[in-house]
Amino acid sequence: MPAFCAECSITLFHVHNRTVSLEGPECAALLSGSSCISLRRWHVEKFHIFDSAGAWLDSESPSLTGDAAYELAQCCGFTNAGLVALPHVDESRDASRFTSWVRSGRAGSMRYLERADENEELVRARVAVPFPWARSAIVCFANYKSAHPLSIEEHDKRSGWIARYAWSSRVDEKGERRPSDYHKVLLKRLKSLDARLRERFGEFESRAYVDTGPVVERSLAVAAGLGWTGKNTCLIHPKLGSFGFLSVLLTSLDVATKDSPAQLVRDHCGTCTRCLDACPTGALTAPYEMDATKCISYLTIEHKGEIAPELMPGMGRQIFGCDICQDVCPWNRKSPISSDPELEPREELVNPSLDWLSSLDEQQWERLFNGSPVRRAGYLGFKRNLAVAIANSGDEGTGN
């Protein structure tokens, strides 16, 4: 790619993998004179300079800026992105909170959250536990909000509710609409982001995760300045709301001094308690505190086996996940509608008929949800959830 002198705008050299190749006698002035060596096009703060023989002429290591992370993430299809240097300033506090939450039993049967190292420190508590080489994290946000009705709005009493994020689909090369799984969609984008970073910075260590790795995405998102943790325990972006997927790219690249630490977004929940008041199973036990063992999303997706009878009435018509605490949140009222072509909603999954869903045999169910996040619940788990929703459909009580 061409690079330009910030003073005269004359092309002086070409850059590939952050390597500057000197191509003419006029470039020699860059090393001995006072000429500017900023890269106007890419705003790169540091880069390596080599002569034609491959000798390293400078000694500065590359550093990543927040602007570069944001621009590249957008080019890869993300709505927004933030950058945080590791370890971040609130890491000890967040690690302590996460550890306390898990060890108090509020994670339910999600045993993978309990995995610890040889020092009995939870692997997910701090990035440095599994990845001591990590120096930065790019946290990406992908908006999935659609213009369709909310779960709390008027609906047919014989309809169920599948969480908005699981409606996702895309149109394939044949022009046919197919289910899409955000894990696969966003992981592909993270890998594209990783490749673009390597074009600019050369080789470095990295790991990419979308809800599957030993990282607490929400904690890193807050530290990267993407938003604050709401009283419903979701990340709330001040402009995009909370209907967004989070994914993380860990790297061994240092963060530029001007971007460390990241500028945090202050808590804007104020005195609002709409999410706590609306939660039908009492999973939000206090502001910013959630007991997963009572959460409808956990009960309908992660939990295996029978559901406690006392929780069933509150589950209402929810058959996969739950959007209630986000649907009532004022910060989602004016947030923009997503235009992501790989995360478009499937109309048949919006307020689907309970009778239709209950009529599906396992083969039909697999065809309907192949490639969809809904498969996480499994056929038997989905049928269990349907039975609860159908039982509640005559008189939903406190459920929605």
The owner of tokens 């209630």 is 324
The owner of tokens 């490749």 is 195
Tokens read off for 187: 């992981």
Pairing of strands 284-286, 289-290: antiparallel
Q: What is the pLDDT of residue 14?
A: 43
Asked whether the beta carbons of 252 and 203 are under 8 A apart, the reply is no
Q: Going by C-beta distance under 8 Å and a sequence separation of 6 or more, which residues neighbour residue 165?
A: 144, 182, 243, 245, 321, 373
Q: What is the pLDDT of residue 53?
A: 54
Per residue of the chain (400 residues), give pLDDT as tens: 334 333 333 334 444 444 444 444 444 444 444 333 433 333 333 444 554 555 444 445 678 999 999 999 999 999 999 999 999 999 999 999 999 999 999 999 999 999 999 999 999 999 999 999 999 999 999 999 999 999 999 999 999 999 999 999 999 999 999 999 999 999 999 999 999 999 999 999 999 999 999 999 999 999 999 999 999 999 999 999 999 999 999 999 999 998 888 999 999 999 999 999 999 999 999 999 999 999 999 999 999 999 999 999 999 999 999 999 999 999 999 999 999 999 999 999 999 999 999 999 999 999 999 999 999 999 999 999 999 999 999 744 444 4
Q: What is the DSSP letter of 210?
A: S
Asked whether the beta carbons of 149 and 352 are under 8 A apart, the reply is no
**Phi, psi of 245, deg, nearest 5:** -90, 140
Asked whether the beta carbons of 257 and 310 are under 8 A apart, the reply is no
Asked whether the beta carbons of 346 and 177 are under 8 A apart, the reply is yes
Q: What is the pLDDT of residue 52?
A: 54
- DSSP code string of 7-42: TT--EEEEEETTEEEE-SGGGGHHHHS------TTT
Stated length of the chain: 400
Residues noted as catalytic: 211
- DSSP code string of 230-259: -TTSSEEBTTTBS-EEEEEEEESPEEPGGG
Give me the torsion for CA of 370, 376, 380, 386, rounded to 10°. -90
Fill in the amino acid letter for 322.
Answer: C
Q: What is the pLDDT of residue 231?
A: 98
Q: Going by C-beta distance under 8 Å and a sequence separation of 6 or more, which residues neighbour residue 387?
A: none
> CB-hemisphere CA count at 13 Å for 152?
13
Number of Cβ within 10 Å of residue 170's Cβ equals: 16
CA distance linking residue 285 with residue 168, whole number of Å: 30
Q: Let me know the angle formed at the C-alpha of 68 by 62 and 69, rounded to the nearest 5 degrees.
A: 100
154 SS3 class = coil
Q: Going by C-beta distance under 8 Å and a sequence separation of 6 or more, which residues neighbour residue 194?
A: 206, 208, 249
The owner of tokens 């299809």 is 77
Asked whether the beta carbons of 326 and 150 are under 8 A apart, the reply is no
